[in-house]
């Protein structure tokens, strides 16, 4: 990050409204209109000006969805700033975000990443499960080991999953002696209605990803709604693969497990 980029980043962070916008986008992408609803005392024009400054600081990525403009948080510049002043004291935890950026720059012979390299997707799915909302929530969390099929453990290694459905809890896979991977960090819980998680879900590098399970009581069972959004350096086939993966995990594995309990 050069001095001009750093100046734009500090400018983008220099106003409380812009910092609040980033806090909101950390939870999920928003349209400009949705963001404006969080600031009733501020005009839509002012919010757009704030978003433009955040975009100039590369903290916000813009995607057009029909007639709407969707705003996504891009945490890479913040990671770079952290690395500049803190990284040399924490070499053991070198950032994969910066490593990926360096690889991309060397490959293309460019000095910075542009927004053309960034992508975003949002997956929405609904699954009807013949079980109570409490039973489905319990299966999603306390019994994740029984239905979560995908693994990050090395081939041949047996791993175990734990899921703490509390704010600050982790969805974590462990194997061997003190080895493992965090699939997600819980940042919102409303038992047994909703749980929100921030995590890469196996996507490596400069990716901002979050997913939500929303459970609604329906006659004869529970309607589970999944919402998964991701933005950053995303490979073209990741959206399709994750959509297929969710259908298998929730529509087959979880559904079968919960309905047999």
Residue 195: how many CB atoms within 10 A of its CB? 26
**What parts of the chain have a pLDDT lower than 70?**
1, 83, 85-117, 204-206
- Separation between Cα atoms, residue 178 and residue 260, nearest integer Å: 33
What is the model's pLDDT at position 102? 57
Q: Tell the burial category of 68 from Cβ atoms under 10 Å away from its Cβ (0-12, 13-18, 19+).
A: exposed
- Separation between Cα atoms, residue 201 and residue 152, nearest integer Å: 10
CA distances for 153 relative to 159, 161, 183, 186, 199, angstroms: 6, 11, 12, 21, 17
- Separation between Cα atoms, residue 35 and residue 50, nearest integer Å: 11
CATH number given to 3-117: 1.10.10.10
Which of 3.40.50.300, 3.30.530.20, 1.10.3720.10, 3.40.50.970 would CATH assign to domain 119-260? Answer: 3.30.530.20
Residues of the chain with CATH 3.30.530.20: 119-260
What is the model's pLDDT at position 201? 79
Residues of the chain with CATH 1.10.10.10: 3-117
- Separation between Cα atoms, residue 218 and residue 129, nearest integer Å: 9
What is the model's pLDDT at position 156? 86
What letter does residue 86 receive in the DSSP assignment?
A: T
Of residues 202, 203, 154, the one with CA closest to residue 179: 154
């Amino acid at each position: 990050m050069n001095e001009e980029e750093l100046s734009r980043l500090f400018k983008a962070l220099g106003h409380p409204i812009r910092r609040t916008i980033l806090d909101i986008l950390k939870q999920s992408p928003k349209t400009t209109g949705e963001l404006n609803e969080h600031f009733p005392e501020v005009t839509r024009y002012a919010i757009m000006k704030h978003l433009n400054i955040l975009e100039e600081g590369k903290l916000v990525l813009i995607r057009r969805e029909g007639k709407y403009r969707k705003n996504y948080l891009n945490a890479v510049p913040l990671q770079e700033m952290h690395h500049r002043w803190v990284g040399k004291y924490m070499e053991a935890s070198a950032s994969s975000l910066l490593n990926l950026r360096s690889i991309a720059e060397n490959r293309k012979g460019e000095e910075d990443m542009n927004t053309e390299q960034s992508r975003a997707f949002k997956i929405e799915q609904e699954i009807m499960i013949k079980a109570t909302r409490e039973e489905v929530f319990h299966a999603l969390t306390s019994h994740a080991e029984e239905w979560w099929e995908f693994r990050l453990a090395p081939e041949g290694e047996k791993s175990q999953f734990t899921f703490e459905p509390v704010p600050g809890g982790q969805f974590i896979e462990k194997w061997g002696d003190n080895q493992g991977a965090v699939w997600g960090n819980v940042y919102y819980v409303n038992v047994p209605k909703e749980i929100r998680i921030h995590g890469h879900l196996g996507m490596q590098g400069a990716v901002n990803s979050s997913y939500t399970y929303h459970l609604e009581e329906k006659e004869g069972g529970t309607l589970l709604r999944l919402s998964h959004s991701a933005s950053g350096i995303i490979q073209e086939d990741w959206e399709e693969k994750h959509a297929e993966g969710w259908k298998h995990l929730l529509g087959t594995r979880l559904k079968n497990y919960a309905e047999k309990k």
